[in-house]
Amino acid sequence: MGATIRDIAEKTGVSITTISQILNGKGSRFSEATRNKVFQTAKELAYKPNFFAKNMVTNRTNTIGMIVPEVTDPFFSQMVKGAEDYLNAHDYMILLCNSSQDSTREDLYVEELLHRAVDGLIIASPNILASNVFTQLESMRKPYILLDRKRHHREEGNIYIDDYEGGYMATEHLVSLGHRKIGIITSDDSFYSVEERLQGYQACLKKHHLSISPDWIMEGDQTMAGGYNATKKLLAATDITALFVTNDQMAVGAYRAALELGITIPDDLSIVGFDDIELAEYMAPTLTTVRQPIYAIGQTAADYLLKAIQNPNEKMANQKMPLELIVRESARKLANKATHK
Amino acid sequence: MGATIRDIAEKTGVSITTISQILNGKGSRFSEATRNKVFQTAKELAYKPNFFAKNMVTNRTNTIGMIVPEVTDPFFSQMVKGAEDYLNAHDYMILLCNSSQDSTREDLYVEELLHRAVDGLIIASPNILASNVFTQLESMRKPYILLDRKRHHREEGNIYIDDYEGGYMATEHLVSLGHRKIGIITSDDSFYSVEERLQGYQACLKKHHLSISPDWIMEGDQTMAGGYNATKKLLAATDITALFVTNDQMAVGAYRAALELGITIPDDLSIVGFDDIELAEYMAPTLTTVRQPIYAIGQTAADYLLKAIQNPNEKMANQKMPLELIVRESARKLANKATHK
């Protein structure tokens, strides 16, 4: 009834052996283009290995637990989608948990997921996890991937970006446009890797022998409302000409704050964001930002986890994901009249 | 170790009996304020009944399958959050599935979820489901809630809004502002209840003896990009002064299309959206829209489903959820110069 591997081979022109390896999470030596083509076609044809047959042999539930801080944040919903697309193509499903950035809930969720006999876990967390979490995971020998910005200095299974580098990149762009008074909106809840983005910002300004006023650094919630409130406070207290907002959701709020204060972006204030959510290119002006490969992070996490489930004695790889500055309209050259020395 | 019902009683001032009923999904006779307070406090205190003990008695997995068309759509992520918050407070977890609006995938997901012995399902679907889906659900006697805009004329467990009424409401607002040439952006994939929103639009214009040109109706994908493309086409071909965009995501794209064409909102073009996603009040200008109680729809679906699991022989209730016009800045009185008769 359903599509077979042969159907996928016919449609893609890829060999059956290769397809089988890719769909079983053992296709890392093939190009990403080939892997994507196979997954895409498997999805289109609704290819599906027999779940029960597989299950009997492997004693697995083919279920992965995934914990994210906030599913309504487009950053995390995109990450979930990347993981889900990959897992579904391999006949795995996701038990999704929303921790609301609370470490107690993370702890409880790990426990619940282990009760439900998931085959592995993906934990995206802004927190230092309770040590209890690791005791549980290790004692049950469950593979897990941490999307935690290397907060736990784990030796394997780290998929991460270099937040320091990203903060530096955003700031460097503003400096290169002639800005000297550059503010930053950070977070009040240790969410994302804001601390390291802040360090990148500080290092970049220092390298250019530019001073930083403590007034230029403002904390806020990692939401539209948080960005709005922090930017309002910051613009009332300073005469900055540029602003690095450490995530794009907050940048949406920053735009509104500027609008209400009669400050035009980018004429009066240049803004650089972080993440490159879909909305970034619909904003007015479109948002210059540091792109994280969000979907690919979810996909890679799923890929590494399935490998670890299939080869429990092999060490998991670590993967640093690339960042890229996406130049759009929200940051521009500082006009002469406003240059500060 | 963990918090008890007594702790919740102490903190809320609500009686232990009441709390127990509310947390067991039998608290519908209490006010929403009381129920919310109890759930909120249970969450804050990380209250958690003993999962295994409960499970042994009930032979349940305490897992709910939830299928949504697209988790990265803020409408659905908000709905998932409403369901999840409610279910977690009752010691249930969600197996989340993303159907990509594809009815074949919906069918497969229902099968997979039943394999995993979920206690019930919440299916948010834009499609007429395969009859196979219902055969499976009925044969396994699994309770389920359809968030499908009553497409299946089921006699119980319908949680819905009146899309016709919503379309009428949006259009009426534009007519009351003096607009006579009112366009509409609909969907090309039967997503949401766009067909009924369109009928509401048509009925309203007819009631006011206003003509509709076929050129004023334009289809698009239910995404930012879809709204952008459809609006560009529509504005190039017509001289409308107002536009009803049948969801807020598309309205984001409509704003960008207008901006690129040098058309100012609301001076040259009034826009009314549908949904009231969080972003609506951050847009420039802020978006006038028809609000759906998205979070509450998710919560209510979870509530009804748990009741059905606990009382399998009782008929499920139906619930029409209220709509509300939220007037912001994107629609305004038609200036005299542009009035068409």
- Listed in order, the ranges of chain B carrying CATH 1.10.260.40 are 1-48
Question: What per-residue confidence (pLDDT) applies to A250?
Answer: 96
Tell me the per-residue pLDDT of B103-159, one tens digit each, with 9 for 90 and over: 777 888 888 888 878 999 999 987 777 777 888 888 888 999 988 666 667 788 889
Distance from CA of A78 to the nearest CA of B (A): 6
Beta bridge partners of A122: A66, A145
Q: How confident is the model at residue A337 (pLDDT cuts 50, 70, 90)?
A: low
Question: What per-residue confidence (pLDDT) applies to B192?
Answer: 54
End-to-end Cα distance, chain A: 73
**In B204-280, beta strands by DSSP E:** 217-220, 242-245, 270-275
What ipTM was estimated for this complex? 0.77
Tell me the per-residue pLDDT of B11-48, one tens digit each, with 9 for 90 and over: 888 877 788 777 766 677 788 888 888 888 887 887 76
Distance from CA of A246 to the nearest CA of B (A): 18
A123 and A153 in contact (C-beta within 8 Å)?
no
B95, B252, B282: residue with CB nearest A93:
B95
Question: What per-residue confidence (pLDDT) applies to A170?
Answer: 98
Alpha helices in chain A, H assignment, sequence order:
5-12, 16-23, 32-44, 51-58, 74-89, 103-115, 131-139, 163-176, 194-207, 224-237, 248-260, 294-310
- Of A56, A81, A93, A122, which to mutate for an interface test with B (greatest number of B Cβ within 10 Å)? A93
Question: What per-residue confidence (pLDDT) applies to B26?
Answer: 63
Q: How confident is the model at residue B224 (pLDDT cuts 50, 70, 90)?
A: very high
- What integer best gives the mean pLDDT of chain B? 87
- Listed in order, the ranges of chain B carrying CATH 3.40.50.2300 are 163-292+325-338
Contact between B112 and A51 using a beta-carbon 8 Å cutoff: yes
Q: Report the half-sphere exposure of A38 (CA within 13 A, side-chain side).
A: 30
- Of B1, B40, B96, B122, which to mutate for an interface test with A (greatest number of A Cβ within 10 Å)? B96
Give the CA diameter of chain B.
Answer: 74
Find chain A residues with C-beta within 8 A of B93's C-beta: 95, 97, 112-113, 116
Q: Tell me how far the alpha carbon of residue A161 is from its chain's centroid.
A: 8
A328 and A288 in contact (C-beta within 8 Å)?
yes
Check: CATH 3.30.365.10 for B1-48?
no
Distance from CA of B225 to the nearest CA of A (A): 9
Tell me the per-residue pLDDT of B58-102, one tens digit each, with 9 for 90 and over: 567 888 999 998 888 888 889 999 999 999 889 898 888 888 777
A86 and A43 in contact (C-beta within 8 Å)?
no
Find chain A residues with C-beta within 8 A of B104's C-beta: 46
Q: How confident is the model at residue B49 (pLDDT cuts 50, 70, 90)?
A: low
Is-cis flag, bond preceding A69, omega within 30?
A: no
Find chain A residues with C-beta within 8 A of B112's C-beta: 51, 93
Question: What per-residue confidence (pLDDT) applies to A51?
Answer: 41
* Sheet (strand A182-187) strand order: A217-220, A182-187, A242-245, A270-275, A288-291, A324-326
Distance (Å, whole) CA B237 – CA A126: 49
Chain A contact for B224 (CB, 8 A cutoff): yes
- Listed in order, the ranges of chain A carrying CATH 3.40.50.2300 are 49-160+293-321, 163-292+325-338
pLDDT at B259 over 60: yes
Contact between B81 and A63 using a beta-carbon 8 Å cutoff: no
Distance from CA of A98 to the nearest CA of B (A): 8
- Of A72, A88, A121, A259, which to mutate for an interface test with B (greatest number of B Cβ within 10 Å)? A72
Return the residue of A nearest to B72 by Cα: A77
Helix (H, G, I), strand (E, B) or coil at B18: helix
Could you name the CATH architecture of B163-292+325-338? 3-Layer(aba) Sandwich (3.40)
Helix (H, G, I), strand (E, B) or coil at B300: helix
- What fold does the segment set A49-160+293-321 form as a domain? Rossmann fold (3.40.50)
pLDDT at B175 over 70: yes
Chain A contact for B104 (CB, 8 A cutoff): yes
Q: What 8-state DSSP symbol labels residue B333?
A: P
Return the residue of A nearest to B74 by Cα: A72
pLDDT at B50 over 70: no
Helix (H, G, I), strand (E, B) or coil at B204: helix
Question: What per-residue confidence (pLDDT) applies to B189?
Answer: 64
Contact between A51 and B256 using a beta-carbon 8 Å cutoff: no
Tell me the per-residue pLDDT of A245-260, one tens digit each, with 9 for 90 and over: 999 999 999 999 999 9
- Count of residues in chain B: 341
Tell me the per-residue pLDDT of A229-238, one tens digit each, with 9 for 90 and over: 999 999 999 9
